[in-house]
Structure 1
Amino acid sequence: MVPRRAVHAEEAAEVEVLNANLSKMKSVSKKIQASMSRLEQSGRNVQEAIGPVYGNTQRLQIQNANIDRILAAIEKVTQPLDLKDREERILRNRIDRVGLQEYIGSIDRTNQALQNLQQTNLRSNQQAMAELGSLLEIGTGSLEGEFRDVIRRDADPIEPLKQITTGSNYPRISSSRSGQLRMVHAHITTYAGPSTPAGELLPSAKAYAHERGQYIMLSLQNLSTACRSTARKVDANAIYRQGSNGIGAYAQGILGMFIAEYDNVCHIFNREEWSAVLQATCQSALQAFSSTLQALEVHIRENMLTDCYLAYEIIEVVSTTSINLESKTGELKHAMSDALKPIRETAKSSLSLLLNTTKQQVQQLQTLPQDGNSIPLTTETMVRLQLMTSYLSPLSSIMRSLGDGNWKAMPSSAANSTTSIPTLKSFDVGADGKQLFAHYASDVIETLLNALSSRSLTLLRGKSLQAVFLANNVTIITRMIAASDLNDLVAPSVGPKVELWRKRSTTTYLEAWREPSAHLLDVQFTAKAPRPPSTGAPIDSSAILKALNSKDKDGIKEKFRSFNTSFDELVQKHKSYRMEPEVRRALGENVRATIEPLYGRFWERYHEVDKGRQKYVKYDKSQMGQVLVGLSG
């Protein structure tokens, strides 16, 4: 019981302690509540006192923010004005003093400032925008001037003959200057491009085309002058010699300078600008080239018979040049072709002119050689054809455009007309040029021989003289064909026609020898006695004559006498004629083949009628053979 009372007493003591603590806590809580009430009352009093002050502070903060924005706007408005003053000092100065990079940087900054002002839409900025725009124009203009000045540093005219003779490269703009020009052009494109009308070159491109165009034209000026001067000849009747005109060097100079200029354009301008810039740059040189060709065309028309070959050479040279330009640059082919058109039309007309002139020149002859000699016109005509073989390529092109045979009926006025109606033949671009030339040569030779034959009938007396004249001219034609490139080109087609003329002349010549041949024909009556068989034994002239009566013998004597007279006269004429060696040999052999068998037979049968006195029988067989052989020598 005692321990239990002790435990209860201890617990009771703890409870009393807890109750005491609780009472203290309640007392403290009451004090805290009283303090909170006083603090809350104090807070309400402070809030009522500070509220107006806080509102004023907020309004002040808003006012300060507005003031800061106003100051920023004022600074933004005044900033372009400060920039304008700074950039104006640069842009109104010379580029070489400022430096190109710094000058371009100033333009870029000015352009950026102008764009910023344009975005504000403030009325107060209009004046600044106008001033910056004007300043930007000044800077762009200075860049254009700098672009032009850089180009001019490499624009001293050259003498292309040096490059032509030595094979050296044509001068080009250096890579450092090309880079400088490219940079300047890029900035000009940025600032001037939007205001440049569509289809027009930019100011820098115009400056390039003008300066480089003048450089090319002046460099080629001496070659143009040489073309005109070398067309003039000391002897107006001299036929043009291939390569004697300066058109070849002129074309080489154009080709070299245009290709070099194309390289320059590619290094400076953008790809889409190459074509327009190159054409504008070469325009002045092409106009000068076209003017030169027009002057040459006038000269050719005035001297067509001697200088038509210059037209063929020009066509070949210029066509080759235009093809090379097309392959190297992709441009200018059509411009070159347009410049060539007058020459090409004149070359077309030359074919019919040469053909018609050949006929007219023969018809205008008032006399022909009375010894049967050939005339110079035949040689001249063949020389023309020989010279044409050196221009087979341009002639083939011309003949294909005309069509096979159209050169016969094409008057010169039609050839010069650009409104002439083409025929189906003129579209045969696949025609063989060599074959067309062979047909043309055949027509020329046929026209010449027909005209010579017709004229000889009027101006020459006697068929033998006419035949010798025609045979001589045929031989000249044959010889000049065989001794030149005409042999391979026209011999297959022309040869048979010429051979027909040769045979015709031979036949005509032999007609004169029918008279002496007729005297060597005798009439044998075989009805009275059978013809003795041929045994190969010598004929007994005495026996034959014994069988004849005196009247028949007198007839034989008269035949010998008439033959001698006619034969001697023809031999004399034959020797008096001026014959080409081939003609004399051929006609002599034909005469011998005609006379010798007849005379040999007649002499064997009747030579004893003269009884060796040579009163009637002037020639024995060997003597006749010698005379006939002499006709061929």
Structure 2
Amino acid sequence: MIARRAAHAEESAEVEVLFANVKKMKAVTKKIEASMARLDQSGRTVQEAIGPVYGNTQRLQTQNANIDRIQEAIDKLREPLDMRDREERILRSRPDRVGLQEYISSIDRTSQALRNLRSSNMRSNQQAILELSGLLQIGTENLEGVFRDMLREDSQPIEPLKQITTGKDYPRISSSKSGQLRTINQHIANYASQATRQGELPPSAKVYAHERGQYIMLSLQNLATASKSTARKVDASAIYRQGSNGIGSYAQGLQGMYTAEYDNICHIFSRDEWGTVLQATCQTSLTAFSSTLRDLDAHVRENMLTDCYLSYEIIEVVSGMSHQLESKTGELKHALSEAMRPVRETAKSSLSFLLNDTRTKIQQMQALPLMTAYLPPLSSIMRSLGDGGWSAPSATSSSTSIPTVKSFDVGADGLQLFTHYAADTLDTLLAALEARARSLLRGRSLQGVFLANNVCVAERMIRNSELDHLLSAAQPKLDAWRKKATQSYIDAWKEPSTHLLDVQFTAKAPRPPSTGAAVDSGAILKALNSKDKDGIKEKFRNFNASFDDLVAKHKAYKMEAEVRRALGRDVQNFIEPLYNRFWERYHEVDKGKGKYVKYDRQQMASALAGLGDVLGARGIGGKGVEEVVGMVEGPGESEQEGKARRRSEQAEVDKVLRRKSDGLVR
């Protein structure tokens, strides 16, 4: 019990202590609350007192920052004005006085200042912008002058004939000077990009095109003059000789100078400017070149018969030059094509012109061998006309003609088209010769000889010329004309053949075999009455007279050796079978006395074989197409001598054609 009371007493004491501590805590809490209230009141009082001071401080800081920025802006406004005075002294001086590099650096600084002013977009800067722009324009113009002077140092006209004959390179601007020109051009272009319209050349490009364009034109001036002067010949009737005109040298010089100029341009201008600058630089010389081609074209049109070959040469030369420049520069193809257009149209019309002249004057057989020297341009022309287009009426005015489907056949074989044209020319020539023979020569036999001579000579000329491997297509037409000539000649031999025909009455007696078995002439004659025998005698007599007359005429004709042999064989093949049959049946009519039967089989064979004997002929040699067309020149003779000889031969042939005496040419 006592222990329990002691424990309760101890616990009571502890509770009293706790209550005492709680009271103390409450008292401390009240004191803290009172202190917090006083502190809060003091904070509000401090805030109310310090707030205006802090706001004023922030405003002052903002004002100070604005003042600093305004000061900076004022400094920037003053800076262009300050640098303008400094740069103006440099830019208004000549670049050679202050040094090119310093002058360019001043332009760079001025350009940068101008960009800064424009980006500020402040109205107060407008006057400064105008002043700096004017100053920059002055500096750019002075740079243009330096650019021009540097170009002129290397733009003295040259004589391209020296490069053409020696094979040396055409002069180019040195690499060191090209570097300076490139730097100047870049600075001029930077200013020009702000001042020029889109598509317009920068000032430096205009300067370059003018200075170098004049240099090229003046350098080529003598070649242009030579091209026009060499077109005129001493003998106006002389045929144009390949390479005798100066257009080849002119084109070669043009190509060389353009190629060199393109290299210069590539070292000075930017890649996107190369083409336009080259076109502008070459424009003046291209205009002069076009004028020269027009003059040559007028000359060709006035002398189409003799100088149409010059137009073919021009097309070949200019096309080759255009292709080379296109592969090198990628430019000028269209301009050169336009310059060549009149010549090309004239060349097209020349094909039909030559055919028409062949038809009317029989003078153009010479065209074919000459044309083989111009196969590339002729192939191009003929492809544009289409197969047979040279015979169409529109071929003479192809500039206004409507294109045909054939004219778009770019895959056509130009060589084959030329063979077709050559075959048409031969056909036209022989047709014209036949027409002239019909009007001037009496008798189909003589006309046939004349035509056969011309076919033979034409074929021989083909075999002995560049046409030999080209004109296989013409052989069928030649064969057709040869056959026609043979038929005309054989017509005369139909008269003696009519005397070798007889009438057989098979109802009276068995018909004797005509071939393959012996014929009893005596038995056949014995079966005839005296009137029929007299008829047989008359047939032999008439045949002999007609045959002897034709043999004499045959030997008197002036035939080519090949023609004489061929016609002799044709006559033999025609007459001999008929005569042999008639002789076998009736040769006993004069019992071997030869009064009526003048030729036996062997004698007839010998007489007919003699028709092809060239040595036995009394003629002096065939007069054929050589004399008519005047194609072949004598060995070692000059052009004038050849022309005189051909005129003499033409006069002789005209006499031969007009000579009519029983259908014989003696």
Q: How far did residue 392 of structure 1 move?
A: 2.4
Task: Give, in whole Å, the separation in 2 of the partners of 1:421 and 1:543.
Answer: 78
Q: More displaced, 233-242 or 405-414?
A: 405-414
Q: Which runs of 5+ in 1 are unaligned?
A: 1-58, 362-376
Q: Tell me the residue number matched to 2:641.
A: none
Q: How far did residue 459 of structure 1 move?
A: 3.0
Q: How far did residue 176 of structure 1 move?
A: 0.6
Which residue of the other structure, out of 520, 533, 537, is the alignment partner of 1:557?
Answer: 537
Q: Tell me the residue number matched to 2:556.
A: 576
Instruction: Please give the secondary structure, in 1, of the residue aligned with 2:307.
Output: helix
Query: Judging changes above 3 Å, is the alpha-carbon distance between structure 1 residues 462 and 174 closer, same or farther for their aligned structure 2 residues?
Result: same
Query: Judging changes above 3 Å, is the alpha-carbon distance between structure 1 residues 514 and 407 closer, same or farther for their aligned structure 2 residues?
Result: same
Instruction: Tell me the amino acid that sits aligned with residue 136 of structure 1.
Output: L
Q: Within 5 Å, give how 1:237-248 maps onto structure 2.
A: 237-248=237-248
Whether contact under 8 Å (1:318, 1:340) holds in the other structure is: yes
Q: Tell me the residue number matched to 2:389.
A: 406
Q: More displaced, 291-300 or 351-360?
A: 351-360
Q: More displaced, 101-110 or 214-223?
A: 101-110
Whether contact under 8 Å (1:308, 1:350) holds in the other structure is: yes
Task: Give, in whole Å, the separation in 2 of the partners of 1:512 and 1:564.
Answer: 15
Q: Tell me the residue number matched to 2:433.
A: 452
Do residues 415 (structure 1) and 398 (structure 2) align?
yes
Q: How far did residue 451 of structure 1 move?
A: 3.6
Whether contact under 8 Å (2:452, 2:482) holds in the other structure is: yes
Do residues 392 (structure 1) and 372 (structure 2) align?
no
Query: Judging changes above 3 Å, is the alpha-carbon distance between structure 1 residues 533 and 103 closer, same or farther for their aligned structure 2 residues?
Result: closer
Q: Tell me the residue number matched to 1:176.
A: 176
Whether contact under 8 Å (2:525, 2:589) holds in the other structure is: yes
Q: How far did residue 486 of structure 1 move?
A: 3.2
Whether contact under 8 Å (1:349, 1:416) holds in the other structure is: no
Whether contact under 8 Å (2:157, 2:216) holds in the other structure is: yes
Q: How far did residue 439 of structure 1 move?
A: 2.8
Q: Tell me the residue number matched to 1:476.
A: 457
Q: Within 5 Å, give how 1:5-20 maps onto structure 2.
A: none
Q: Tell me the residue number matched to 1:8.
A: none
Whether contact under 8 Å (2:359, 2:428) holds in the other structure is: yes
Instruction: Tell me the amino acid that sits aligned with residue 594 of structure 1.
Output: F
Q: Tell me the residue number matched to 1:19.
A: none
Instruction: Please give the secondary structure, in 2, of the residue aligned with 1:241.
Output: coil
**C-alpha offsets along residues 75-130 of structure 1, whole Å, 9 cap, x if unaligned?**
88777666555544443443333321122223334445556666788999877765
Task: Give, in whole Å, the separation in 2 of the partners of 1:500 and 1:471.
Answer: 11
Q: Tell me the residue number matched to 1:21.
A: none
Instruction: Tell me the amino acid that sits aligned with residue 464 of structure 2.
Output: A
**C-alpha offsets along residues 31-64 of structure 1, whole Å, 9 cap, x if unaligned?**
xxxxxxxxxxxxxxxxxxxxxxxxxxxx9xx99x
Do residues 442 (structure 1) and 423 (structure 2) align?
yes
Q: Within 5 Å, give how 1:478-517 maps onto structure 2.
A: 478-491=459-472, 493-517=473-497
Q: Within 5 Å, give how 1:75-86 maps onto structure 2.
A: 83=83, 86=86
Whether contact under 8 Å (2:576, 2:605) holds in the other structure is: yes
Instruction: Tell me the amino acid that sits aligned with residue 315 of structure 1.
Output: I
Q: How far did residue 609 of structure 1 move?
A: 4.9
Q: Tell me the residue number matched to 1:250.
A: 250
**C-alpha offsets along residues 589-629 of structure 1, whole Å, 9 cap, x if unaligned?**
11122223433454455556556665444445444444323
Q: More displaced, 383-392 or 498-507?
A: 383-392
Instruction: Tell me the amino acid that sits aligned with residue 518 of structure 1.
Output: T
Q: How far did residue 575 of structure 1 move?
A: 2.1
Q: How far did residue 440 of structure 1 move?
A: 2.5
Q: More displaced, 136-145 or 273-282?
A: 136-145
Q: More displaced, 243-252 or 82-91?
A: 82-91
Q: Tell me the residue number matched to 1:432.
A: 413
Whether contact under 8 Å (1:217, 1:284) holds in the other structure is: yes
Q: More displaced, 263-272 or 109-118?
A: 109-118
Q: How far did residue 147 of structure 1 move?
A: 0.5
Query: Judging changes above 3 Å, is the alpha-carbon distance between structure 1 residues 532 and 627 closer, same or farther for their aligned structure 2 residues?
Result: closer
RMSD: 3.4
Whether contact under 8 Å (1:468, 1:579) holds in the other structure is: yes
Q: How far did residue 544 of structure 1 move?
A: 6.2
Task: Give, in whole Å, the separation in 1 of the partners of 2:285 and 2:468.
Answer: 43
**C-alpha offsets along residues 181-227 of structure 1, whole Å, 9 cap, x if unaligned?**
01111111223331122221111111100110011111111221222
Q: Tell me the residue number matched to 1:14.
A: none
Task: Give, in whole Å, the separation in 2 of the partners of 1:251 and 1:286.
Answer: 11
Instruction: Tell me the amino acid that sits aligned with residue 484 of structure 1.
Output: S
Q: How far did residue 360 of structure 1 move?
A: 2.8
Q: Tell me the residue number matched to 2:11.
A: none
Q: Tell me the residue number matched to 2:365.
A: 382
Instruction: Please give the secondary structure, in 1, of the residue aligned with 2:558.
Output: coil
Q: How far did residue 339 of structure 1 move?
A: 0.8
**C-alpha offsets along residues 494-521 of structure 1, whole Å, 9 cap, x if unaligned?**
2222212211221221111111122233
Whether contact under 8 Å (2:514, 2:581) holds in the other structure is: no
Instruction: Please give the secondary structure, in 2, of the residue aligned with 1:193.
Output: helix
Instruction: Please give the secondary structure, in 1, of the residue aligned with 2:471.
Output: helix
Q: How far did residue 565 of structure 1 move?
A: 1.8
Whether contact under 8 Å (1:400, 1:429) holds in the other structure is: yes
Q: Within 5 Å, give how 1:614-629 maps onto structure 2.
A: 614-629=594-609
Instruction: Please give the secondary structure, in 1, of the residue aligned with 2:239.
Output: coil
Task: Give, in whole Å, the separation in 2 of the partners of 1:309 and 1:535.
Answer: 62
Query: Judging changes above 3 Å, is the alpha-carbon distance between structure 1 residues 504 and 413 closer, same or farther for their aligned structure 2 residues?
Result: closer
**C-alpha offsets along residues 417-449 of structure 1, whole Å, 9 cap, x if unaligned?**
2xx322222222222223322332333333333
Q: Tell me the residue number matched to 2:547.
A: 567
**C-alpha offsets along residues 305-333 of structure 1, whole Å, 9 cap, x if unaligned?**
22222212211221121111111101111
Query: Judging changes above 3 Å, is the alpha-carbon distance between structure 1 residues 386 and 179 closer, same or farther for their aligned structure 2 residues?
Result: same
Task: Give, in whole Å, the separation in 2 of the partners of 1:121 and 1:328.
Answer: 48
Q: Tell me the residue number matched to 2:35.
A: none
Which residue of the other structure, out of 569, 572, 583, is the alignment partner of 1:589?
Answer: 569
Query: Judging changes above 3 Å, is the alpha-carbon distance between structure 1 residues 528 and 178 closer, same or farther for their aligned structure 2 residues?
Result: same
Instruction: Tell me the amino acid that sits aligned with residue 400 of structure 1.
Output: R
Query: Judging changes above 3 Å, is the alpha-carbon distance between structure 1 residues 188 and 216 closer, same or farther for their aligned structure 2 residues?
Result: same
Instruction: Please give the secondary structure, in 2, of the residue aligned with 1:169.
Output: coil
Query: Judging changes above 3 Å, is the alpha-carbon distance between structure 1 residues 125 and 539 closer, same or farther for their aligned structure 2 residues?
Result: closer
Instruction: Tell me the amino acid that sits aligned with residue 405 of structure 1.
Output: G
Task: Give, in whole Å, the separation in 2 of the partners of 1:537 and 1:331.
Answer: 87
Q: More displaced, 621-630 or 505-514?
A: 621-630
Query: Judging changes above 3 Å, is the alpha-carbon distance between structure 1 residues 550 and 118 closer, same or farther for their aligned structure 2 residues?
Result: closer
Query: Judging changes above 3 Å, is the alpha-carbon distance between structure 1 residues 512 and 413 closer, same or farther for their aligned structure 2 residues?
Result: closer
Q: More displaced, 586-595 or 556-565?
A: 556-565
Q: Tell me the residue number matched to 1:264.
A: 264
Q: Tell me the residue number matched to 1:370.
A: none
Task: Give, in whole Å, the separation in 1 of the partners of 2:402 and 2:515.
Answer: 77
Taking structure 1 as the reference length, what is the TM-score of the superposition? 0.78
Q: Tell me the residue number matched to 2:204.
A: 204
Q: Within 5 Å, give how 1:268-307 maps onto structure 2.
A: 268-307=268-307
Q: How far did residue 540 of structure 1 move?
A: 7.0
Instruction: Tell me the amino acid that sits aligned with residue 98 of structure 1.
Output: V
Q: How far did residue 532 of structure 1 move?
A: 6.1
Query: Judging changes above 3 Å, is the alpha-carbon distance between structure 1 residues 349 and 121 closer, same or farther for their aligned structure 2 residues?
Result: closer
Aligned residues: 552
Q: Tell me the residue number matched to 1:232.
A: 232
Whether contact under 8 Å (2:513, 2:519) holds in the other structure is: no
Whether contact under 8 Å (1:349, 1:410) holds in the other structure is: no
Task: Give, in whole Å, the separation in 2 of the partners of 1:357 and 1:552.
Answer: 59
Task: Give, in whole Å, the separation in 2 of the partners of 1:175 and 1:473.
Answer: 68
Task: Give, in whole Å, the separation in 2 of the partners of 1:550 and 1:534.
Answer: 23
Query: Judging changes above 3 Å, is the alpha-carbon distance between structure 1 residues 113 and 409 closer, same or farther for their aligned structure 2 residues?
Result: closer
Q: Tell me the residue number matched to 1:165.
A: 165
Instruction: Tell me the amino acid that sits aligned with residue 563 of structure 1.
Output: F
Task: Give, in whole Å, the separation in 2 of the partners of 1:537 and 1:141.
Answer: 116
